[in-house]
Structure 1
């Protein structure tokens, strides 16, 4: 596990464009090694701006999008196409604008009446099916896993004090009592979230500053879940000045 590195940008717009450029560079680097990059997307306001900037960047044409594998860190358990689903927002911002291979895009299941537990189990099975011989913990090793952070310190759909924070034997779980609507969600667990070469937290706004400061400072992950995920090679906190305001001095 890696120690966090913080990179601070002037404001949310500067942050989003810097993250977009970083992501395009990372995808290009992985493809230059002859590998298919595995990318885990996140939802949220800043992420939408990042993904739109990726799609609009001239550098996007250098990526073979048909050879990018896409996963999700969490999802609101709603019917397919619901505008509140992360998948819907990510498709609108990015995936509908680049030539992805649908077979390499792995959204979390939508609500079709099967129940969130069955949906989470199905996603765990899909992750396990993508594992290579060197992968562990029930998931393929990701290249970049992107996460946002809530004012309470949650990330993905793992909230402070939630029983899902203690799950160690499953890659994906159902969440039924989310303090943010909708109450039912699907989320990757810590074992899965910790299986990425790089973990990127992308956070803006003064309302997140306290949570960011606690997470970067090494808080208990049961109290501040965003303190938990760490990249195998690198953990980046990509912030605007407002979100970085309470990072402890080193």
Structure 2
């Protein structure tokens, strides 16, 4: 995570879950449209969780979805549960269920993590995903082993985890591999595949979804001055161009609001 300083996160409150999902979907569509206007394609990194899935559904239902050439959208996942490919607990399966089939993705551009019925181990699945990322980067003429990510969506867990990077664990700091396996996740299922923090932070924009009163303490923790990535992984998520904390107002008690992050200006 070296290099130029990243913009500080900006807090953007929303009145409720519905508004958060709709407004985030609108933001995603705007980013995809602008990216396609600039270079003909666009890339999004998706997250799991109830709010991440709701955002996908709102994207699919939006009238502005017609502005996107979905055959030129690349889709990746920041993490996945190492379960059989059709298991309903997998982030990719939940995303597919929320999607509208009338929006025709090119399935060669959609990159689910291999399931437990395809690979012998999560380590194998992680290696396979690294190879897919490297191949995509090469096709874009990039040498860093990662394609360009226009936006990465993340969900903040009540313990401050993002993707499958959990607090109190040194693998939050891993930079030896862009994607790696997690064998003993504190949240079931224990075996997972996750992008590293550095891979997530290679995205041009990183947006952290924080929904509901149970996340208020986690949000306060990631905003605490001096908190480390190991103490609170969500605190270290930073996009190259932009970092947004997209939150519901009931997650805000006790958290100071940024002057430029008021609902009137940014929601």
Partner of 2:149: 142
SS of the aligned residue for 2:29 comes to: helix
Partner of 2:3: none
SS of the aligned residue for 1:142 comes to: coil
Partner of 1:81: 86
Partner of 1:103: 108
Partner of 1:195: 202
Partner of 1:233: 241
Describe the superposition over 1:143-188 as per-residue Cα deviations: whole angstroms up to 9, x where unpaired.
Answer: 0000001110000000012232121110111111111111111000
1:217–1:248 contact (8 Å) kept in structure 2: no
TM-score when scaled to structure 2?
0.89
1:164–1:173 contact (8 Å) kept in structure 2: no
Distance in 2 between residues matched to 1:147 and 1:134, nearest whole Å: 24
User: Following superposition of structure 1 onto structure 2, how do residues 166-205 of structure 1 map, counting pairs within 5 Å?
Assistant: 166-205=173-212
The alpha-carbon deviation at position 125 of structure 1 amounts to 1.1
Name whichever of 168-177 and 240-249 sits farther off. Answer: 240-249
Partner of 1:130: 136
Unaligned runs of 5+ in 1: none
The alpha-carbon deviation at position 9 of structure 1 amounts to 0.4
User: Following superposition of structure 1 onto structure 2, how do residues 7-26 of structure 1 map, counting pairs within 5 Å?
Assistant: 7-26=12-31
Name whichever of 211-220 and 8-17 sits farther off. Answer: 211-220
The alpha-carbon deviation at position 135 of structure 1 amounts to 5.1
The alpha-carbon deviation at position 246 of structure 1 amounts to 3.6
- What is the alpha-carbon root mean square deviation over aligned residues? 1.5
- CA 1:80–1:151 in 2, change beyond 3 Å: closer, same or farther? same
Partner of 2:10: 5
Distance in 1 between residues matched to 2:202 and 2:99, nearest whole Å: 24
Unaligned runs of 5+ in 2: 1-5, 259-267
Partner of 2:45: 40
SS of the aligned residue for 1:242 comes to: helix
SS of the aligned residue for 1:16 comes to: helix
User: Following superposition of structure 1 onto structure 2, how do residues 212-231 of structure 1 map, counting pairs within 5 Å?
Assistant: 212-218=219-225, 219-231=227-239
Aligned residues, how many? Answer: 249
Partner of 1:210: 217
